[in-house]
Amino acid sequence: MVLASNLGYPRLGEKREWKFTLEKFWRHDIDEVAFEDRTKTIRLAALKKQQAAGVDIIPVADYSNYDHVLDTAVAFNAIPARFGQFDQKLTLTEYFAIARGTKAQVAAEMTKWFNTNYHYIVPELDYVTFRLLDNPWLARYQEAKAELGIEGKPVILGPVTFLKLAKLQDAHLSYEALIDHLNQLLPLYQTVVKQLAAAGCQWIQLDEPSLVTLTDATELKLYRQALAAIRAAAPEVKVELQTYFERPDFLADILNFDVDALGFDFVRDHGTLLPELKTLGFPEDKILAAGIIDGRNVWRSDFNQKTALIDDLLTIVSEDRLWLQPSNSLLHVPITTRNETHLDPVIKAGIAFADEKLEELNVLTAYANGEDVRSAITAQNEALAALNQSEHRNNPEVKAAVDAVMCRPTERNSVYADRVRAQKVLNLPLLPTTTIGSFPQSKLVRQKRAAWRKHELTDAQYQQFIESETKRWIEIQEDLKLDVLVHGEFERTDMVEYFGQKLSGFYATENGWVQSYGSRGVRPPLIFGDVIWHEPITVTDTAYAQSLTKRPVKGMLTSAVTIINWSFVRDDLPKNVVANQIGLALRHEVQALEAAGIKIIQVDEPALREGLPLKAQYRQAYLDNAVKAFKITTTGVADSTQIHTHMCYSDFEDILPTISALDADVISIETSRSHGESIKAFETGTYDKQIGLGVYDIHSPRVPSVEEIKQNINRALQVIDVHQFWINPDCGLKTRNEPEAIEALAHMVQATDEVRASIALRS
């Protein structure tokens, strides 16, 4: 019998109960006992949903109080020494301190989970002695069994992937260091599985997604060693080795790993996995856990394709050795479409969030077991056909406009050296100071927006409030003596969602929340149809801000590839075609800003690096397409108009040529949480344009000192020419409160003034 398996479920709660619980604890509105009670309710509700949906193999311990990588680190005492020494399970306050920092200590580094918009806390292994402080996998297994009678499958981050995600002396571990740390760590994993075995646990899901990035067959022995240790510790516990986000290479070797089930992603395998498995054959002593439902996007499955895939899979394995499951944890999609009450029925019938994906899984498992599900398959296929044939997806004017712009050169009028001379009219000082764009979204801002949405405020009243906040923050920026100002983005909930609300072809969901990091949730818009720009989007607010000051105010847009990477993109067209549509729509907006007198325009591309394919052979095409879409947006302006862009946490060294090819006049890069590691890219590479490396971390409530910011500035100036360098925080300030933001910016400006003074003395 074919079984239905799941790999993980969203943490946020259907109405973001998890987010609000965390934030209440951080504000000291609830204590640890109340926190644990509320989060238990959220966990059990998620398990009940999966149970009701007919999932045979339900994951447990996929839940986290912040991040699953952080959970693994604190369980094994991989805790940065600056937060103290521990010999027992951390309290919630101690746990959150690592993720969020304290007044005295900077937070642990945070970066993107493979090529997703989810952020994990990077384990720091300097001065770490591994020991088992906690077994959260056992606790969650026992909870599910005791409370709901669920024989759950604990989800454990595999030891090799954990170590590959970690850092030692601000760098990823060398092969020798991997071996050394794995030898230290494996006895603790053995203790974990022994305790699970003693509690009666039958299966564990060992997540080793780093296998899909492996390029050196030598490293396979690390995974073999880990699996052998786990088998030796508890041979009665069955192991599902799970990969996702791509297919692994060295498949013949992996098929011989000592595990009971192998989990592969059949959605993002480029169609190569099934043919190779047919050639190699699948081991008769293992279960094939086939990820056939897209866990990263929200469009309903084409049941004709999925049933054909199931038929093919059953030529490789027998029914009793096949599990059907999503391609990855459903952490990356919203919870349910049930709360989308205003969505066009044609579009709504074509989307599936987490709960609907479990319903799809139930239908497909029933099909695999020979049950009559023809009516469900027919209904779904008809819904998809209606969407694909709708006018939403078949606008000939959009196609013609994109084809026309693709036939024209997409380059600036002049090379950078000439543009920088034309931009001297901006009259900026040495080491210009600015911010990335957004200012704190205060409780009052959120209340006014909610009142406006409920029609308790008129459009005019709401716009008056937005203008009052803009005016107040222009005055604050002038008082701080920042050189280049921003309007603050008080009208925007999210940098992608906002544009999704203004461009045709997008739908901004009501409750399509997805975790980004910690309690931070985002609502990725649905790009369901052809993208069209009808009228200016940002011009009114930006021009109003510019009218209040003689200092330049930046126009603020989000670029096409970031919108693609942070949205749920229609799957009936190649992504680069959709990106070009968005790029063209934004080109109209850039030109409208310039016509309104805005001389600096920032087109943010924070997600360019995170969308990089995990396999090297697909990367250049992606990067070339990204550059093309960016240039479609930015190359229609005069030389004197300064184009900025911004990028988030990344390893930049390998994509410096692409960053340069974007041909932005100024780029800012989020670097402070990596302790300046990204600066190393500029020690070995050459960048000839202007750049700001974020001089302090905005994701932590901690306010940096003037001296700390000066050290960050001076570190950057060791490798970047002083005439190229801009001073800015490493990201927008939306998530900070007002006193924190103002104090930190004041320290940043003071630090800049002191560095300028020291440079003048040396001249």
Tell me the pLDDT tens digit for each residue of 23-54.
Answer: 999 999 999 999 999 999 999 999 999 999 99
Residues with Cβ within 8 Å of residue 55, at least 6 apart in sequence: 4, 5, 6, 358, 361, 362
Has 112 been labeled as part of a binding site?
yes
Q: Which pLDDT score, from 0 to 100, does residue 751 have?
A: 96
487, 699, 723, 747: the catalytic one is: 699
Token output for 89: 């399970």
Active site annotation includes 699? yes
The H or E element spanning position 354 is: helix 354-368
Has 407 been labeled as part of a binding site?
no
Has 19 been labeled as part of a binding site?
yes
Q: Which pLDDT score, from 0 to 100, does residue 580 have?
A: 95
**3-state SS record for 490-549:** CCCCCCCHHHHCCCEEEECCCCCCEEEECCEEECCCEEEEEEECCCCCCHHHHHHHHHCC
Has 670 been labeled as part of a binding site?
yes
What pTM does this model have? 0.89
Has 601 been labeled as part of a binding site?
no
> How far lies 639's CA from each of 149, 416, 602, 692, in Å?
68, 9, 15, 21
Residue 408 has pLDDT above 90, yes or no: no
How large is the angle between the packed helices 738-762 and 706-717, nearest 10 degrees?
50
Q: Calculate mean pLDDT across residues 62-72.
A: 97
Has 348 been labeled as part of a binding site?
no
Has 436 been labeled as part of a binding site?
yes
Residue 652 has pLDDT above 80, yes or no: no
Has 689 been labeled as part of a binding site?
no
Q: Which pLDDT score, from 0 to 100, does residue 581 have?
A: 95
Residue 655 has pLDDT above 90, yes or no: no
Has 587 been labeled as part of a binding site?
no
* Helices and strands, number each (H, E), in the chain: 27, 23
Q: Is 83 helix (H, G, I), strand (E, B) or coil?
A: helix
Q: Is 311 helix (H, G, I), strand (E, B) or coil?
A: helix
Instruction: From 538, 531, 481, select the one nearest 504 (Cα to Cα).
Output: 531
Sign (positive or negative) of CA dihedral 711, 716, 721, 726: negative
Q: Calculate mean pLDDT across residues 633-661.
A: 86
Residue 674 has pLDDT above 60, yes or no: no
Written as one string, the DSSP assignment of 646-661 is EE-S---GGGHHHHHH
pLDDT band at 571 (very low <50, low <70, confident <90, very high): very high
Instruction: Calculate the CA 533 to chain-centre distance.
Output: 26
Tell me the pLDDT tens digit for each residue of 304-323.
Answer: 999 999 999 999 999 999 99
Mean pLDDT across the chain, nearest whole number? 94
3-388 topology per CATH = TIM Barrel (3.20.20)
Q: Where are the alpha helices (DSSP H) in 369-458?
A: 374-388, 396-406, 416-422, 443-453
Percentage of the chain lying above the pLDDT 70 cut:
98
Has 516 been labeled as part of a binding site?
no
User: 10 Å Cβ neighbour count for 230?
Assistant: 26
Query: What are the boundaries of each domain within the chain?
Result: 3-388, 396-405+418-762
> How far lies 650's CA from each of 337, 524, 532, 711, in Å?
33, 21, 31, 21
Residue 13 has pLDDT above 90, yes or no: yes
Q: Which pLDDT score, from 0 to 100, does residue 128 have?
A: 95
Residue with tokens 């997805």: 514
Residue, of 667 and 677, whose pLDDT is higher: 667
Altogether, the residues listed in the chain come to a count of 763
Tell me the pLDDT tens digit for each residue of 280-312.
Answer: 999 999 999 999 999 999 999 999 999 999 999
Tell me the pLDDT tens digit for each residue of 225-241.
Answer: 999 999 999 999 999 99
Written as one string, the DSSP assignment of 600-616 is EEEEE-TTTTTTS-SSG
Has 646 been labeled as part of a binding site?
yes
Q: Which pLDDT score, from 0 to 100, does residue 673 have?
A: 54
Written as one string, the DSSP assignment of 554-585 is EEEEE-HHHHHHTSEE-SSS-HHHHHHHHHHH
Indicate the CATH number of 396-405+418-762 among 3.20.20.210, 3.40.50.200, 3.40.50.720, 3.30.465.10: 3.20.20.210
Tell me the pLDDT tens digit for each residue of 87-105.
Answer: 999 999 999 999 999 988 9
Identify residue 349 by its one-letter amino acid code.
Answer: A
Tell me the pLDDT tens digit for each residue of 148-197.
Answer: 999 999 999 999 999 999 999 888 999 999 999 999 999 999 999 999 99
Give yes or no for a contact between 254 and 222, defined as CB atoms under 8 angstroms apart: no
Q: Which pLDDT score, from 0 to 100, does residue 685 have?
A: 64
In angstroms, the CA 44 to CA 60 distance is 10
Give yes or no for a contact between 629 and 560, defined as CB atoms under 8 angstroms apart: yes
Instruction: Calculate the CA 459 to chain-centre distance.
Output: 33
Tell me the pLDDT tens digit for each residue of 594-638.
Answer: 999 999 999 999 888 888 999 999 999 999 999 999 999 999 999
Has 489 been labeled as part of a binding site?
yes
User: 10 Å Cβ neighbour count for 699?
Assistant: 22
User: 10 Å Cβ neighbour count for 495?
Assistant: 23
Give yes or no for a contact between 52 and 104, defined as CB atoms under 8 angstroms apart: no
Q: Which pLDDT score, from 0 to 100, does residue 670 have?
A: 78
Residue with tokens 């937070």: 107
Has 740 been labeled as part of a binding site?
no
Residue with tokens 């590959």: 164
Q: Which pLDDT score, from 0 to 100, does residue 159 have?
A: 98
Residue 132 has pLDDT above 80, yes or no: yes
Tell me the pLDDT tens digit for each residue of 705-738.
Answer: 999 999 999 988 988 899 999 999 988 888 888 9
